[in-house]
Amino acid sequence: MIENKNEDVEKKPCIKCGVLIVLDNRFCNTCGARQDGKIIEPAANRWMLLQQGALFYGIDIVACCLVKFADFFQNLSRFLFFDILMAITAIIFFADNWTENKKLLTWRNFSWQKLAAYGAIAIASQIVVHYSVTWLNIAIYNKDDVYYTYLNGNYAAVIFLISFTAVMPALFEELGYRGYLMQTLLKVTDQEQAIYISAFLFAIIHMSVISLFWLIPFALFLGITRMRENTLWYGIFIHFCFNLTACVFELR
């Protein structure tokens, strides 16, 4: 059988005029329409999205500063205020684009094995982090920096501690950073940079230079998990296990 050589080349119809063209061609040679160009939001739209992200991050910065420096919040009420403010911010920004973001709250690929594995990783890394941070703080700052000192002897507040250091941050930090912020960044840039930016921003908002050495890898891990599993729930569970282990250390 004699075949025309030209027929061997894989072809596709032009997206505009429908004439068959060579698969690799970037432009239709009949009508000139671009074939491979990705439709990207104009720079102005992406800049607007970044500004919206900056607003979200700015509110978080102010909230963190208030909790760290303002005198008018005492002990538990300051954490209550802080957590509620963070939660409201995260929910508002996340719900702003609810139709697109709600798919992150589904959990289609649920598996107990995965959940257990992620939980184990989280607990193990918190143990490593706890001992190395204690050592670093004593070595550099000459003090044992205890995060939640207000609890000393107050065991009635155990449930309070767990809900405000393990449950609330896990839920709403994930909703805010791996949810809203990452969804926004994915529209602005590629997946890799979106993971980097959200991880770095999440790490530095904790406002502790020494903690960056574990916060950045931890946030990268959460970002990668969110991308791979396409759900927020594994991240929330990892974050919860991680913080809960920290609580256990505090309560000893």
Partner 1 sequence: MENPPLAPTITQCYACLKNVTDEDVFCPDCGYPLKGTPSEQENFITKSTFRDINLAASNNQVRKAGNTLFYLAGVFALGGIVFFVLRKDDPDVAAISITDFILAILFLLLGEYSKKKPLACIISGTCLYVIVQVLNFAIAPSSVISYIWIKIIIIGFLIKGIKSALEIEKIKKENNIA
Q: Which residues bind partner 1 (CB under 8 A)?
A: 21-22, 25-32, 34, 36-38, 40, 42-43, 46-47, 50, 57, 61, 65, 68-69, 140-142, 188-190, 192-193, 196-197, 200-201, 204-205, 207, 209-210, 212
Tokens representing residue 5 in the block: 């050589």
Would you say 73 or 233 has its CB closer to partner 1?
Answer: 73
Would you say 49 or 115 has its CB closer to partner 1?
Answer: 49
In angstroms, give the least distance from the CB of 45 to partner 1.
Answer: 10
In angstroms, give the least distance from the CB of 106 to partner 1.
Answer: 28
* Contact assessment for residue 157 and residue 149, using Cβ atoms and an 8 Å cutoff: no
* Contact assessment for residue 88 and residue 227, using Cβ atoms and an 8 Å cutoff: no
Nearest one of 185, 182, 188, 189 to 225, comparing CA atoms = 182
Would you say 10 or 190 has its CB closer to partner 1?
Answer: 190
Instruction: Kindly tell me the burial class for residue 72, based on how many C-beta atoms sit within 10 Å of its own C-beta (0-12, 13-18, 19 or more).
Output: exposed
In angstroms, give the least distance from the CB of 54 to partner 1.
Answer: 8
In angstroms, give the least distance from the CB of 136 to partner 1.
Answer: 10
In angstroms, give the least distance from the CB of 89 to partner 1.
Answer: 16
**Cα-atom radius of gyration of the chain, to the nearest Å?**
24
CA–CA separation, 154 and 6 (whole Å): 82
The DSSP string of 1-54 is: ----HHHHS-EEE-TTT--EEETT-SB-TTT--BSS------HHHHHHHHHHHH
Would you say 180 or 240 has its CB closer to partner 1?
Answer: 180
Would you say 28 or 238 has its CB closer to partner 1?
Answer: 28
